[in-house]
A and B are shown apart, each in its own frame.
Chain A
Amino acid sequence: MSFREKTAWISVILLVVLFGPYFGRVALAMAGKAHVHGGTQFAMVAAFVILEIVLRVAIAIQSPRDARAPRDEREDLIDMRATRAAFYVLLGGVLVAIFTLHFPVSVWMLSQFVLFSVVVSELVRFSGQIRMFRRGF
């Protein structure tokens, strides 16, 4: 498994493990069955960034040669294709977020929706990369 495929796996796993339960709780909060503290959202994003950095550094130490090597043309194409798919997901999320502004939604709710769009688009990007790495292109 290449260094870049490993980093994509790390991102997917972190997104699912961290944000899956978080958005489950947010959904319960929207239904009035739970409470999500305002600072939790920031804490989740910070935890994701920190864990991502720590884990990427860990696998870079394991395979320093692969980590130092620049992306080759296939890896660039894989990244571009996956990012293109993720762009449309994010675009859809942003458009829906703009639409919801015409309704009485709280800033908290809107911010959760925007973060959800970002998380889903990142999942599409990294899972797309993994799919293409696995099948060759």
Chain B
Amino acid sequence: MASDMSGCAIRNTIRELRLAHGEMTQQELADRIGVTRQTVNAIELGKYSPSLEVAFQIAEVFRLPLDRVFQYEKPKGRGPNRR
């Protein structure tokens, strides 16, 4: 099951994958991809969308293709995503 993404268009299954990989902690994942634990938590909760580089690194840790870790859902009734 994908994490609740708080209205974010990008969903992920990082939490489930961590638990499935020997209950890997957020800190362990953060150390392996070179970010802080807080950043991993923000990604998991859908509060922050990582760069492609970090997204690929996460997928590599779990030895899965990127689209098994991250899924894009087109937001309804919204134009292009601009900050």
Chain A residues at the B interface, C-beta cutoff of 8 Å:
2, 5, 66, 69, 72-75, 133, 135-137
* Contact status A133-B54, CB under 8 Å: no
Query: Chain A: interface secondary structure?
Result: helix
Pair A136/B42 contact, Cβ less than 8 Å: yes
Chain A positions within 8 Å of B48 at CB level = 74, 136-137
How large, as a class, is the contact surface on chain B?
A: 10 to 19
Kindly list chain A residues whose C-beta atoms are within 8 Å of the C-beta of B47: 135-137
Question: What's the Cα separation between A69 and B35 when bound, in Å?
Answer: 9
Question: Is the contact region of chain B dominated by helix, strand, or loop, or is it mixed?
Answer: loop
Closest to B51 in A: A73
Give CA–CA (A74, B34) in the complex, Å.
12
Give the number of residue pairs across the A-B interface with Cβ within 8 Å.
Answer: 34
Which residues of chain B have C-beta atoms less than 8 A from A73's C-beta? 35, 39, 50-51, 54
Binding site for A on B (CB under 8 A): 34-39, 41-42, 45, 47-48, 50-51, 54
Considering the chains assembled together, what is the distance between the CA atoms of A66 and B35 in angstroms? Answer: 11
Q: Give the complex CA separation of A75 and B37 in angstroms.
A: 12
Collect the chain B residues with CB atoms within 8 Å of residue A133's CB. Answer: 38
Q: List 23 A-B contacts (CB under 8 A).
A: A2-B37, A2-B38, A66-B36, A69-B36, A72-B34, A72-B35, A73-B35, A73-B50, A73-B51, A73-B54, A74-B35, A74-B48, A74-B50, A75-B36, A75-B39, A133-B38, A136-B41, A136-B45, A136-B47, A136-B48, A137-B42, A137-B47, A137-B48
Q: Which of A5, A75, A136 counts the most chain B CB atoms within 10 A?
A: A136
